[in-house]
Amino acid sequence: ASGDERRLLSVIQQALASSWGDDALLALGEMALERGDYAAARWHFERIIPQPAAADGAPAWPGYPDTNLDLAAVRARLVLTSILEGSFQRASEELAEFKRLHGQATGRLGGREVNLANALAEMLAQSAAWPQADPPADWLTFAGCETRNGFRAEAVDPSEVAWRVALPRVRPPLAAASAVAEPADSPLSYHPLLWNDVVIWVGQTQVGAVRLEDGKPAWGNSAIIYRDPLDGSPVDLANPRETLGAARFTATIHDGRLYARLGWAVTGSPPESSLTVGTGYLICLDLAAEGRLLWKIMPDEGFAFEGAPLVQGDNVYVAMRRSDVRPQAHLACFEARSGKPRWQRFVCGADTPAQGVFCESTHQLLTLHGRTIYYNTSLGAVAALSAEDGRIVWLTLYPRQRRGDLWQPAPHWWRQLTPSLYDRGTLYVAPADSPSLFAIDATTGMVLWQTGSQLEDAVHLLGAGRQRLVASGRRLYWIGTGPEDGGRIKHLWPDGPARPGFGRGIIAGGCVLFPVREKLPDRTVDRIYVFDLDTAELKKTIDLAFRGKPPVGAGNLLVVGGRLVIAADGELICLRGARE
């Protein structure tokens, strides 16, 4: 089937206007629909249907010029695609158009001959009661899944500390005083994962694992399952102080193997620098064998790994940066079993605020959906690439912010760990080199909308769906994503002068958990505010000052097994409910 699909793709890439073009599009749409890739299915079906000219005279996206296929059957597939995708508002609008054009059309659906409009209307009405798929029990990569749109189904109501584990502190970078949603003297750089009831975190030269139940080492007598000082350097490896950007630590777990970038977090240094700069590297650990090292990859000279890879099948994908006066973004693919290189593709290059004078520490993560990799380079471009061979499917440019004070950078420059977020055919992007957020059609690369600079402190994209995007930084934002309110702020908290955001929140139990550090007249308190995901109504406040215990700090949140794990300043803390 994969070979057939490649041949069909070759037809639409090389001979779309031929007599086979519309048949190829229909077949590809059916294949995509069958495997659940609804955005790809919609794209193929839409290219069969004649597109009206835009009101401003702009040309329509290239499609098949004059099909002899049954357009009622094609449009029915579009409605079906939206229903199965869960895009009910879109399906309703498409169904209304279908009734206007093909109200009496008949066809086979569900194995029987039916009036298509009536059958689709019945299916749409029933779909609201269809059970929703639960998210995976584990949390296996940054933001929970490879689309970076993960959430937790369970709610949490913590009332006491279950356990605490110390974490090495991270050295602050240049201009840390302007950091967004984290302390100036110690970045909140840890983002733990959950695998088989084991909480796992990655640091700069070590990997730790403890049991979720009691915080004790997952295997053996030490929580550290992997340690590798580079070139005899101490474990608390410090990056140069003259670095733009903080060290960040992420990992991905796939089929019982952990993949991560460790070592020096510097991804770019001045060509004539006298600083001694080490090298970051990729590792693969077998968690089923208690963290045994399977392979380790060093980058070629002049290159650096950006962050943790993503894995699909036997392919490991990772963003890379080539250090130069004009840094370059590359995408590389390695064999998962051995770590052997398969291919590497240049994506783009551009100037950065370091201007070839300072070191840089970047951490660009990839986003994966179906057979497409999305790469927010923060170098003036967002790219979609084929997961099969790295071929660029589309590349979209956006206006860059080129000016600023290196000692007091604008808030958007702290989007160092903000991969694109994919949701039902739309890619949400928050580049570090722009104060805006962008919504991009994930199939074509066309910009659907963009925000103004009022969201420049939105450094975390927490989740999308239900006609809204939730983002956070110093404040918490609900942003409209529909055709009428795309890019508009629908709700924000707080709406006064306070900017208390402190760490990365999470969506769990139909709510948004937002960690804060609030300055009161006589003290500073850390809390977690819990808001309704749909209405933005404040549901409750979790006070982190537990009686008789050392203060619990806010930080990056993870909800697992009914517990709340916080990667705070210098420690990992697990909170549980009183009834547990």
Shared domain for 118 and 173, answered yes or no, is no
Domain-embedded: residue 90 = yes
Structure token pair of residue 220: 């053996």
Element (H, E) at 282: strand 280-286
DSSP annotation of 249 reads B
Residue with tokens 């605490």: 164
**Rg of the Cα atoms in the chain:** 24
| DSSP letter string, 158-186 | --EEEEEEE-------TTGGG-SSS-SSS
In 173-242, the DSSP E strands lie at: 193-195, 198-202, 206-211, 224-227
Closest by CA to 202, choosing from 446, 481, 567, 579, is 567
Say yes or no: 337 and 402 in one domain.
yes
Q: Which residue in 537, 426, 398, 413 sits closest to 38, CA to CA?
A: 426
Quickly tell me which residue has 């306070």 as its tokens. 498
Alpha-carbon dihedral 220, 221, 223, 224, rounded to 10 degrees: -80
Predicted local confidence at residue 244, as pLDDT:
86
Residues 478 and 420 in one domain: yes
Number of folded domains that form the chain: 2
Q: Is the CB of residue 186 less than 8 Å from the CB of residue 556?
A: no
Within a domain: residue 148?
A: no
Run of H or E including 90: helix 88-102
In a domain, 151, yes or no: no
- What pLDDT sits at residue 232? 47
One-letter amino acid of 477? Y
End-to-end Cα, the chain, rounded Å: 50
- Closest C-alpha among 472, 506, 511 to residue 492: 472
Calpha distance 79→444 (Å, rounded): 20
Token code pair at residue 75: 């449009």
DSSP lists the bridge partners of residue 527 as 516, 543
The pLDDT score that the predictor gives to residue 235 is 42
Task: Please report, for the domain that includes residue 480, its CATH number.
Answer: 2.130.10.10
Distance CA(352)–CA(233), nearest Å, equals: 29
Which residues of the chain carry a pLDDT beneath 70? Answer: 1-3, 53-61, 229-238, 272-277, 356, 547-548
In this structure, the chain runs to a length of 580
Q: Hey, is 411 helix, strand or coil?
A: helix
Residue 309 lies in a domain: yes
Cβ partners under 8 Å of residue 469, min gap 6: 421, 428, 437, 439, 461, 463, 478, 479, 480, 481
Question: Do both 480 and 371 map to the same domain?
Answer: yes
CATH code of residue 49: 1.25.40.10
Which residue, 160, 54, 12, is CA-closest to 574?
Answer: 160
Q: Token pair 């995509």 is at which residue?
A: 32
Same domain, 406 and 505: yes
Show the tokens assigned to 296: 């380790």
- Give the residue among 362, 276, 270, 363 at the shortest CA–CA distance from 325: 270
Q: Measure the CA–CA gap between 63 and 391, rounded to whole angstroms.
A: 21
What's the pLDDT at 548? 63
**What is the per-residue pLDDT for 236?**
45
Residue 242: the pLDDT is 78
Question: What are 79's two structure tokens?
Answer: 């409605």
Strands 511-519 and 506-508: antiparallel
Please report whether residue 143 resides in a domain: no
pLDDT at site 275:
59
Instruction: Examine residue 133 and state whether it is found in any structural domain, yes or no.
Output: no
- Please tell me whether residue 141 adopts helix, strand or coil conformation: strand
414 and 269 in a single domain? The answer is yes
Spatial CA neighbour of 347 closest among 312, 317, 370: 317
Residue of 160, 158, 156, 188 lying closest to 173 (CA atoms): 188
Among candidates 52, 3, 10, 1, which has minimal Cα distance to 30?
A: 1
Cα 119 to Cα 123: distance, rounded to the nearest angstrom? 6
* Distant-in-sequence, close-in-space partners of 490: CB < 8 Å, separation ≥ 6: 468, 478, 479, 480, 536
Residues 120 and 165 occupy one common structural domain: no
Residue ending a domain, among 75, 107, 127, is 127
Q: Answer yes or no: do 263 and 200 share one domain.
A: yes
Residues 67 and 197 reside in one and the same domain: no
What residue type is assigned to position 492 of the chain? Answer: L
Which of 465, 455, 447, 532 lies closest to 488, judged by CA? 455
Residue with tokens 């380790």: 296
Residue position matching structure tokens 């000016």: 403
Q: What is the DSSP letter of 79?
A: H
One domain, residues 184 and 117: no
Report the predicted TM-score, pTM, of the whole model to 2 decimal places. 0.94
- Which H/E stretch holds residue 107? strand 106-109
State which H helix or E strand residue 123 sits in: helix 116-127
Same domain, residue pair 412 and 500: yes
**Residues in contact with 539: Cβ distance below 8 Å, sequence separation at least 6, in sequence order:** 511, 530, 531, 532
Q: Please give the Cα distance from 489 to 483 (Å, whole number).
A: 14
Q: Is residue 458 part of a domain?
A: yes
For residue 17, what are the domain limits? 2-127
* Per-residue H/E/C for 312-368: ECCEEEEEEEECCCCCEEEEEEEECCCCCEEEEEEEEECCCCCCCCCEECCCCCEEE
Q: Do 476 and 527 have their domain in common?
A: yes
Q: In this structure, is residue 142 part of a structural domain? A: no
DSSP letter assigned to residue 454: G
Sole residue written with tokens 């409009």: 117
CB-based contact 419:367 (threshold 8 Å): yes
